[in-house]
Amino acid sequence: MTELHDLPALALRDLLRSGAVSSTDATSHFLDRIGSQNPLLGAFITVTADQAMAQARAADALRSRSEADDLPLLHGMPVAFKDLTDVAGVVTTHGSAALDHKPAPADAPLVALFKDAGAIWLGKTQVPEFGLTAYSENRIAPPSRNPHAPSRSSGGSSGGSAAAVAAGLLPFAPGTDGGGSVRIPAAACGLVGLKPGRGVVAAGESTGDPARLVAPGPLARSAEDAALMMDVLAPGNQYLSAITQEPPRLRIGVTLDSPWSSTFPFTPDREALDALQAGETLLEQAGHTLADAGIRYDNRYPDAFTTAWTAGVGAARISPSREALLAPLTRTFRRRAQQRSPAKLAEALAFLRQFQHDTLAQYGQWDLMLMPALAQTPRPVGWFTGTAHGGDRWPSAQWPGDADGDYRKQCEYAPWSSMVNVCGLPAITIPVHWTGGAAGSGLPMGIQLVGPMGSEALLLQVARQLGY
């Protein structure tokens, strides 16, 4: 008999709607999984078991007096939110020891979408401090670890959510992506990760995001499961019905060019190139036409992106007496953001708008763009910060302070992520390769496909066509 956590999210959703599985049984099952595996993985910061079981009982009561067709889309489905997202009555830590950890007074719009859809939330997942990094490690809780190799990171900033989905602690999970924060952990954990285009998910708007970089998106084990979640994130677009259609034959440009190369020259790992080759083979076998695409990026991009990316942490309300509790990277980039003039930020934002225009003109020669998802295999826990430490957390006095070295490592690890956010485009990561040679063997490595505005359904169709 298939365990509930082994079922696709779509199959579990159908069982819950039909009444073949009760919400209390499903919720209890996943809470038990969290209880047994989270001590190793560090995927959850907070588990809200009592609230979840109360919600599950209410969902079962609703099921007893309703027809399946009258139930909300995600009736009884367990989910969790990364700990940057407010859930009413639950502490939002933002992954920071510098903040007072008080219960949130109201739900964030993203949470309201899932509650309205009938989902049951099980807790808050691990994140880097203020979501700034490509790894989910901080000073308040154990690091989030990769279920495929617990000595490795699950990525960031949606690293706890990705680890939870990959380990079967959740059927799927929403993440948020401002510079790769859905796609990086999806690639590291062997999941499908979709970043929708700018404005597709209205609940993703943020006042601390002057460049409008952030978009919520699904972390899932298949394109179909991701499509189901997209029907919640962007109601009315009918992604789940669209995904069953075969995509047209596409012209796909293949590139290794990155806007970070001028500042941080890098060489992709052999495993990244193997993943790219695997993706090319699958796409060609599906009937698509691939050719090399040389993309020229303005070398002013790294400074402009960093200025926009860190503006929010510069404006964060943190007591001066608690700033010493910030991680070195956060403290360094906060100080620099506060020292910049408003004119400098405006200049960076104007440049990024021009960068978007120039990049879209080059991408427009192709139906989709193809590149590796990551330039390196999932990194060891502590590798970015220089701690290389396998324990639960680092005391403030022992956390090394090389913020610039940390940031450089992140940009070399994920050099094809942030420009997609700047351009406002949809993109999907697909786990096409495993370093051990077979699915589930070794470490996952993936490809990224970037499409034009409005191509979310097409990207999901292609992922499904490739068998994911």
pLDDT of residue 238: 95
CATH number for 353: 3.90.1300.10
* Domain region containing 208: 4-465
Q: Which residues are the active-site residues?
A: 82, 157, 181
Please report where in the chains the tokens 């460049």 appear, as a residue: 211
Whether the model clears a pTM of 0.85, i.e. scores above it, the answer is yes
pLDDT of residue 439: 84
Print burial letters for 118-135: b (CB count within 10 Å at least 16), e (below 16): bbbbbbbbbbbbbbbbbb
The amino acid that residue 165 corresponds to is V
As given in the structure block, the two tokens for residue 465 are 């066509």
Any idea how long the chain is?
A: 468
What is the tally of structural domains in the chain?
1
pLDDT of residue 440: 82
Q: What does each of the 468 residues of the chain score in pLDDT, given as a tens digit?
A: 689 999 999 999 999 999 999 999 999 999 999 999 999 999 999 999 999 999 999 999 999 999 999 999 999 999 999 999 999 999 999 999 999 999 999 999 999 999 999 999 999 999 999 999 999 999 999 999 999 999 999 999 999 999 999 999 999 999 999 999 999 999 999 999 999 999 999 887 676 899 999 999 999 999 999 999 999 999 998 999 999 999 999 999 999 999 999 999 999 999 999 999 999 999 999 999 999 999 999 999 999 999 999 999 999 999 999 999 999 999 999 999 999 999 999 999 999 999 999 999 999 999 999 999 999 999 999 999 988 654 445 444 445 678 999 999 999 999 999 999 999 999 999 999 999 988 888 999 999 999 999 999 999 999 999 999
pLDDT of residue 8: 98
- Angle CA 133–137–142, to nearest 5: 165
Q: CB within 8 A of 341, min separation 6: which ones?
A: none
